Chains A and B, each alone.
Chain A
Amino acid sequence: MNVIRNVLCPFCGCCCDDLEVEVDSNRIVNVRNACALGRGKFLSIGEHRLLKPLVRVNGELVETDLDKAIEKAVEIVKDSSYPVFYGFGCTSCEAIKLCLEMADLLGGLADNISVVCHGPTILGLQDMGIPSATLGQVRHRADLIIYWGCNPVEAHPRHMLRYGPLSNGRFVAGRKNRRMVVVDVRRTSTAAMADVFIQVKPNSDFEVLTALRALVNDLDLEVEEVGGVPVGKLEELADMMVNAKFGALFFGLGLTMSYGKEHNVESAIALVRDLNKKTKFIMIPMRGHFNVTGANEVFTWQTGYPFCVDFSMGYPRYNPGETSAIDVMARGDCDLLFVVGADPCSHLPRQIVEKLKNVKLIVLDPAVTPTVKMADVAIPVAYVGIEAGGTAYRMDGVPLRLKKIIDPPPGVLSDVDVLNQILRRLK
């Protein structure tokens, strides 16, 4: 039995790096310090595995060997006039870099899953900038923590313990020394732990944020309620924010996926900017998949843009709404979708998934997913962060090392190795 310590969890954007994994004969037998989601991932990797490469022949997926699958993938890629490379939330920065190289080489489009999570956050911060910090700063200093439009108890289960209200910081320690506020449309399990819960009407975040800005700037509101929230409650929150020594606003898809989208984020940024005239306040998006932040980072190093990058003109072009994977698929512009580290057939609107019937689909995935079932070529790869190493970025933009703790099943390579083989044959 071998215990591997300080393992990074490849589940959510918290990227908890204190896991201890017990390995016996290349098999994970126990995981300590992980939340239910992280533990579930480590302990279930063998249960729904894609073990053999698949290619579609006469409408049916049939098993083949790796070399033939790669050959078929290369053939499809070469025949494509406008390929879209998509996904990357669950892979390493090293694999993302190779996909960008391919998109550039072929004059295609590269987009990552932030387009359907915190894409509007990126649009907002490009307009406004973002007053941010690391999670370590929040842990050690924040005396007021606000969760807006997110439910970490269910989506980021160790966030509150490691970085949030329950964490033991150097200068501010434990729950009793911190105030916690939750703003949401439902009284979630996170809200049940808060000192103050503010229930907003759906699609009203922009109005509530704007009202809070007015109150923080000492203006009176001549209404009884805003977005379903009594003004007295908003005044209470504004006072808490102004009187905090170090406030942290964590925000989720409640802001980015509802009406207003990037304008909600801009309004939140404006609020935090205003608060910094009176105290110290920062904000951090609650990123979902463990390396979706890394996807934005690698895209930006390589192309200058964090997502929605089109190479069809011979140079990187960025115009979300036009060069976003969803819009390209909706218009029927692409003839190939090349997916790494994502399952779009489960997570995109059905009308978009139906469009995929008319495009070729190549997927690299460790598991059998609905996208694998729809694929023309599906190539099994190692679980990044368990069977393959690499780099991931935590939700606050801190790069961390993913460890390889066991070998992948026989014949299964890392996505970096598979992508390198495809790229070599394309050049």
Chain B
Amino acid sequence: MILVSGRSLEQGLGKEASKFSKRYIDATTVCQIDPEDMRKLNIGDGGSVRISSQYGSVVVKAVKSKYAPHPGVIFMAYGPWVNSLTGPETHGTGMPSFKGLEVEVEPVEVAEGSQREG
């Protein structure tokens, strides 16, 4: 799958509430996935997924994308969680690749009450 990170309204509002607020954490620990991809990967709406890139891995909440269809593309709002997946290489530009990153997505079971990994 291809991971795109970006701004979202909730992330922007959460940022102003505090980077430690529930609103910010909720906004930045969610992955928006095309509903058809969720069906193929057996991922339930609101379930947990592990997203892995060559640089790291996080477990976040999966939700059906309201901007579908975008098969093969997942979205996460800017924040520490998605940045666990981006790499440090800038290829001579100074800019890491925050969008268009190749990742693997798989459903995982998370015990109730446990925190998501990041």
Residues of chain A in range 139-164 having any CB-CB distance to chain B below 8 Å: 151, 153-155, 157
Instruction: Assess the A320–B97 pair: CB atoms within 8 A.
Output: no
Known: A37-B13, A154-B12, A350-B56. A367 touches B18 (CB 8 A): yes
> B80: which A residues are within 8 A, CB to CB?
345-346, 350, 353, 370
Known: A186-B73, A202-B4, A348-B83. A37 touches B16 (CB 8 A): yes
B113 CB–A CB distance under 8 Å: no
> B55: which A residues are within 8 A, CB to CB?
349-351
> A321: which B residues are within 8 A, CB to CB?
90-94
Most buried by B among A40, A151, A191: A40
Q: How many residues of A contact B (CB 8 A)?
A: 60
- Docked Cα-Cα span, A348 to B90, in Å, equals 12
B17 CB–A CB distance under 8 Å: yes
Q: How many residues of B contact A (CB 8 A)?
A: 44
A115 CB–B CB distance under 8 Å: yes
A347 CB–B CB distance under 8 Å: yes
- Docked Cα-Cα span, A37 to B84, in Å, equals 26
Q: Which of B35-43, B44-52, B64-72, B104-112 is near enough to bind chain A? A: B64-72
Instruction: Assess the B4–A186 pair: CB atoms within 8 A.
Output: yes
Instruction: Assess the A288–B100 pair: CB atoms within 8 A.
Output: no
Instruction: Assess the A47–B7 pair: CB atoms within 8 A.
Output: no
> B94: which A residues are within 8 A, CB to CB?
111, 115-116, 119, 307-308, 320-321, 324-327
A188 CB–B CB distance under 8 Å: yes
A123 CB–B CB distance under 8 Å: yes
Instruction: Assess the B93–A351 pair: CB atoms within 8 A.
Output: no
Known: A258-B99, A288-B7, A350-B84. A48 touches B18 (CB 8 A): yes
- Docked Cα-Cα span, A331 to B78, in Å, equals 24
B29 CB–A CB distance under 8 Å: no
> B20: which A residues are within 8 A, CB to CB?
48, 368
- Docked Cα-Cα span, A119 to B93, in Å, equals 8
- Docked Cα-Cα span, A153 to B98, in Å, equals 20
Instruction: Assess the B93–A262 pair: CB atoms within 8 A.
Output: yes
A68 CB–B CB distance under 8 Å: no
> A151: which B residues are within 8 A, CB to CB?
6-7
- Docked Cα-Cα span, A256 to B90, in Å, equals 12
Instruction: Assess the B12–A185 pair: CB atoms within 8 A.
Output: no
A178 CB–B CB distance under 8 Å: no
A372 to chain B, nearest CB (A): 9
Instruction: Assess the A324–B9 pair: CB atoms within 8 A.
Output: no
- Docked Cα-Cα span, A369 to B79, in Å, equals 12
A391 CB–B CB distance under 8 Å: no
> B93: which A residues are within 8 A, CB to CB?
119-120, 123, 261-262, 320-321, 324
Instruction: Assess the A186–B75 pair: CB atoms within 8 A.
Output: yes
A300 to chain B, nearest CB (A): 16
> B70: which A residues are within 8 A, CB to CB?
185-187, 199
A63 to chain B, nearest CB (A): 18
B18 to chain A, nearest CB (A): 4
Sample (9) of A-B pairs whose CB atoms are under 8 Å apart: A120-B95, A186-B65, A186-B68, A187-B67, A253-B99, A258-B4, A261-B93, A347-B79, A367-B18
Q: Which 8 A-B pairs have the closest CB atoms?
A: A324-B94, A321-B92, A48-B18, A258-B100, A320-B94, A155-B7, A186-B67, A257-B99
Given A37-B12, A153-B9; 8 other pairs, CB 8 A cutoff: A40-B12, A155-B6, A186-B68, A257-B99, A326-B88, A326-B96, A349-B88, A350-B55
